[in-house]
Amino acid sequence: MNTQKLINTALNGLDNLGFQLDQYGITSKVNRHNLIALVMLEQKRLEGEWDSLQARIDGQKARIERLANTLESRLRPLLDRAAKLRG
């Protein structure tokens, strides 16, 4: 069975379930449009969370690189002196 047929079958079942619930007066909020809106909302929320995480990681990488550069610049003279003493 191809994917599009499977998706259409699932969406038709969802629409039917929404219709049946609406007939019993339970809710009218179960339909493909509300489900798609919910999925899109969650997708955008997750994208925002991912972007936030990436920004924090990039900030930490920059901080570590600055620290490494600072350490290297401070240790370089000591390493040069030690090399001269040995050689």
Q: Is the pLDDT of residue 58 over 90?
A: yes
| β strands within the chain, DSSP E | none
Mean pLDDT computed over 42-63: 96
pLDDT score for 67: 97
The domain total for the chain is 1
Residue 68 and residue 51: Cα distance in Å, rounded?
26
Query: What residue numbers bound the domain in which 84 lies?
Result: 44-87
Instruction: State whether residue 87 is helix, strand or coil.
Output: coil
In this structure, is residue 65 part of a structural domain?
yes
Q: Identify which has the larger pLDDT, 33 or 28.
A: 33
In this structure, is residue 34 part of a structural domain?
no
Helices of type H across 1-87: 3-23, 32-86
